[in-house]
Amino acid sequence: MPSPLRVLLVAEESAGLQTLNKLLTGPHELVGVLASPTHQSKSATVWNVAQKHGITVWPAEHVRDPAFAEQITERHVDLLLNVHSLYVIKGPLIAACRIGAYNMHPGPLPHYAGLNVPSWAIYNGETQHAVTIHEMTPEIDAGTIAYESRMPIEPTETGFSLMAKCIRAGVPLIEQLLEAAAQGADAIPRIPQDFSRRRYFGRKAPNAGQIEWDWAAADVVNHVRAGDYAPFVSPWGFPETRLGANVIGIVKAERTGQPHDGMSPGTVGESTDRGIFVAAADEWVLVRKVRMDDRNRNAADVLTPGQLLRAAAPAMIPS
């Protein structure tokens, strides 16, 4: 018979809150939760919901403290779940859990390890993505894979919509992990990663966050979509361009499929009721929304036909 598990949850954001709610209504014992403290907030954060239900909570940075790992050993934790945590969990805490520690990673491993990988996948022009549940080791995103769920990247996908897809597909995988772990550690799949295919992506936005208008239109629009987390704050910010001395963020843009007659990249063309055209290397891009003076504005209200947009940094080819 499956045995209830003693679970420690390290979590943030929507994915962490959904996982917390599953644990609160499930058969397993939630030993405690580590999250960012939000004492003054009335919103449904991981910290607040855990406190409301009488669950012991600790500040998330405790995951780096060897003394806290000793405390967890004394509490006989079976399984640690890491769901969108903001901190790197150190080896002693991983080792303190009888069965181990598992992470929900919003990307396919090993070729999308690291940070902000839904955005990187869109930026790189991928058409498929995945969310992965993997065993945690001292090296980031390097443990064996337990479960994976794949999904398409639609042509209009944004960083936010792809992250939301990962959460929707990832929480059921956490439930699968719990069901397997309750049968015993050997019931959890452990698929080794092929490290010859590993790519690790960092926190910073590509190309220093700059739009290069001599890129193909697909690359320009992919950069814009990748940084689009509306209505939430983007981890990359909006990709930027320069109009004279002014820096403008490109908030919404789309491909047109309409070639231009050899216009210089960055040239502003005609406006429509949906936005204004800007020349990329191969076709017009329809720029719909821009950010200027700390607010979003209709692009046609800011840009004028004949103007020339330029990047503020030397051109780099997307990888």
114-155 pLDDT tens trace? 999 999 999 999 999 999 999 999 899 999 999 999 999 999
- Token code pair at residue 100: 């181990």
User: What is the pLDDT, as a whole number, of residue 38?
Assistant: 80
**Rounded to an integer, what distance in angstroms lies between the CA atom of residue 185 and that of residue 162?**
31
Tens digits of residue pLDDT in 23-65? 999 999 999 999 999 866 678 899 999 999 999 999 999 998 8
User: What is the pLDDT, as a whole number, of residue 82?
Assistant: 97
Q: How confident is the model at residue 250 (pLDDT cuts 50, 70, 90)?
A: very high
> Minimum mean pLDDT among 40-49, 192-201, 246-255, 276-285: which range?
40-49
DSSP E strands: which ranges in 183-224? 200-201
Say how many C-beta atoms besides its own lie within 10 A of residue 296's C-beta: 14
Q: How confident is the model at residue 317 (pLDDT cuts 50, 70, 90)?
A: very low
Closest CA to 211 of 282, 312, 319, 303: 312
- Token code pair at residue 74: 């004394």
pLDDT at 195 over 90: yes
Report, at the CATH architecture level, how domain 207-302 is classified.
Roll (3.10)
**Rounded to an integer, what distance in angstroms lies between the CA atom of residue 166 and that of residue 184?**
27
Report, at the CATH architecture level, how domain 6-201 is classified.
3-Layer(aba) Sandwich (3.40)
Mean pLDDT calculated for residue range 239-262: 95
Please report how many Cα atoms fall inside a 13 Å half-sphere around the Cα of residue 203, on the Cβ side: 2
pLDDT at 1 over 90: no
What letter represents residue 37's amino acid?
A: P
For the chain, the 3-state helix, strand and coil shares in percent, each to the nearest 5, are 30, 25, 45
User: What is the pLDDT, as a whole number, of residue 315?
Assistant: 45
Say how many C-beta atoms besides its own lie within 10 A of residue 68's C-beta: 19
3-state SS, residue 78: coil
**Rounded to an integer, what distance in angstroms lies between the CA atom of residue 191 and that of residue 183?**
18
3-state SS, residue 48: helix
Mean pLDDT calculated for residue range 234-253: 95
CATH 3.40.50.170 domain range(s) in the chain: 6-201
pTM of the model: 0.93
The proportion of the chain whose per-residue pLDDT surpasses 90, expressed as a percent, equals 89
More confident position, 66 or 308: 308
CATH 3.10.25.10 domain range(s) in the chain: 207-302
User: What is the pLDDT, as a whole number, of residue 313?
Assistant: 58
